[in-house]
Amino acid sequence: MANVVVVGAQWGDEGKGRLVDWLAGEVDVVARYNGGHNAGHTLVVDGTTYKLALLPSGLVRGKFGVIGNGVALDPEALLAEIGRVEQLGLSVTPENLAIAENATLVLPVHRAVDLAQEKLRNVPIGTTLRGIGPAYEDKVGRRGLRVCDLADIDALAEKLDALLDYHNAWFKGLGLEGFSRDSILPMLRDVAPRILPFVHPVWAYLNEQSDADKKILFEGSQAVMLDIDWGTYPYVTSSSTVASAAATGTGIGASRLGHVLGVTKAYSTRVGEGPFPTELDDEVGALLRETGREYGVNTGRPRRCGWLDGAQLRQSVKVSGIDSLALTKLDVLDGLKHIQVCVAYDVDGQRTTTLPASLAAQSRAKPVYERFRGWSQSVKGITSFCDLPAEAREFVKGVESIVGAQLSHITTGPDRKDTIVLQSPFADRASDATIYA
* Catalytic residue (choose from 13, 323, 331, 418): 13
Q: Residues 6 or more apart from 260 whose CB is under 8 A from it?
A: 4, 5, 7, 243, 320, 321, 322, 323, 324
Determine the Cα–Cα distance for residues 71 and 105; give it in Å rounded to an integer: 9
Residue 199: strand pairing partners = 99
- Asked whether the beta carbons of 15 and 109 are under 8 A apart, the reply is no
Q: Which residues pair with 421 in a beta bridge?
A: 409
- Does 41 participate in catalysis according to the annotation? yes
Distance CA 341, CA 402 (A): 9
Residues found in the chain: 437
Question: CA-CA distance, 421 to 411, in Å (whole number)?
Answer: 9
CA distance 314 to 404: 7
Residue 206's Cβ-count burial label (10 Å; 0-12, 13-18, 19+) is: buried
**What amino acid occupies position 76?**
E
Report how far residue 226's alpha carbon sits from residue 26's, in angstroms, rounded to the nearest whole number: 29
41 phi/psi in degrees, rounded to 5? -120, 130
Task: Name the catalytic one among 21, 37, 41, 149.
Answer: 41
Provide the residue type at 12 as one letter. Answer: G
CB 237 within 8 A of CB 228: yes
Secondary structure element (H or E) that encloses residue 402, with its range: helix 390-403
How crowded is residue 175: how many other Cβ atoms within 10 Å of its Cβ? 6
Half-sphere exposure of 299 (CA within 13 A, CB side): 16
The DSSP string of 173-212 is HTT-----HHHHHHHHHHHHHHHGGGEE-HHHHHHHHHHT
DSSP assigned state of 227: -
- Distance between CA atoms of residues 57 and 309, nearest Å: 27
Active site residue 190: no
C-alpha–C-alpha distance, residues 38 and 238, integer Å: 11
Handedness of CA 45, 50, 54, 59 (dihedral sign): negative
Burial of 332-344, coded b for 16+ CB within 10 Å and e otherwise, reads bbbebeebbbbbb
Q: Which residues are catalytic?
A: 13, 41
